[in-house]
Structure 1
Amino acid sequence: MDSQSKDTRFDHLVLADGQEAVAAGRLVRVQQEGLGLVWWHQESWPVDLLLPASAPVVVLFPRGPGREEELIDRIGHRVLVTGVWSDGKLYVDTVTDIIPAASPLRLPVQSQDAPMHPVDEATRAVESPLFEAGVVLWRFRRVAPDGVEEVVVSATDVTAARRALLPVYGGRLRVYQSPWTADDLARLDAVIAAVEPTRRHAGGAGVSPEGIVYRRLLLTYLDQQLATTLSAFPEGMLKLEVQAQPRR
């Protein structure tokens, strides 16, 4: 995959210096930085909690008279802020209390491992070589609308996966062709791992009902260089969410 791809599907999320920006989250105190926004937390946030400067937050700086007091009064609250983006920080013009449903930014879905079918030693002996060879990328259990349990497999080689797993799972087996290989996913994993921890809220993996394995990445903000790099990967391989975005 060419890192110079002309695919710019993430460009609408890119923030450049001097651009009007909007961000939502929980307003918190941050060491050395003053104030910042963490991503949504359902639980109450202690107003006296001080996050380390290394925490992934959207760093906030007040602009204009009275703005700092407005921000301080809302520590621990879920807020929407607008302002101007500069040097990786949001210089705040307005701050408003909101509830999650009112945010223009979609709340991140909690990542959960797909439920796995119990594996005995005999099954593990069959499956492990398939995972190690990159033939199988993911396997999970689901219940079909008719109440029948199915074992869903994402495979780079459907024929090989079915041949090996059909004797194990029988008619419950559903094998789907993956659009990408284990090496493709490993390259994306390396890019995600290289993102600075102060910008990366979370990462993870998931699989669609059709057996398409993907990665998730939640960022505080996105710059053009990273957007170009991520856009080089096929659409559908990455689900990207960004906290601070251009104001529209």
Structure 2
Amino acid sequence: MSINQEVHPTNRVAIVTGASGGIGRAVAERLAQDGQTVVVAYAGNKARADEVVTTIRSAGGTATAFQADVADEQQVAALFAHAESEHGGADVVVHTAGVMLLAPLVELDLDDFDRMVRTNVRGTFVVLREAARRVREGGAIVSFSSSVTRLAFPTYSAYTATKGAVDAATLVVAKEMRGRDVTVNAVAPGPTATPLFLDGKSDEQVAGLAQAAPLERLGVPDDIAEVVSFLAGPARWVNGQVLYANGGIA
């Protein structure tokens, strides 16, 4: 076995939700680069999902796309069934799909709040539940939190609350997987240059956030994908943790 195979096991199958863009796309492409077969799960943008699949295949990897609403248990079950029928099963599940709608609490639109809870909380629990039922022995489950649970930026109260639920569930689910040799962790990105994060922010706000980290830049999706690659491959003794990937912002 080569050194690369020891660090990044091949012949594994990864389901990545939210994989049609932003961090999810970077994660899907990185796991494919590591030798994993990837199911590119997307909510609605088939063209972008197909583009990710084409990119992976062009680089010599294996990928398929599958549409699923992460908050719909039947669609998520069908997603896992697709991984099993097309690729033999699922070893890694990375749940990046999320919604971020910002407002001061006194101006919070409760419809926006409900939308975030549906995707960020219910969606996470639906995906985690199906992953806990079906991921193969030796697998890894990675969900997504956010560094704003510590940074407490104004206007982020509702979004932060939804990500706090991810933090709370991570260690519990890790303990519930006892005896399965399956790790359960969460990644908490800091300010990362994605459309989701940059939307609605002025150039001045973006520049200020870039300077907040000691490394004096925003994160990029590949920075986060590197952390996921670690958790999805060699990190067999990291379990029940929330890993903060934010360049040192405190």
TM bin (shorter chain): under 0.3
Higher helix share: 2
State the TM-score, normalized to the length of structure 1: 0.21
Higher strand share: 1
State the TM-score, normalized to the length of structure 2: 0.21
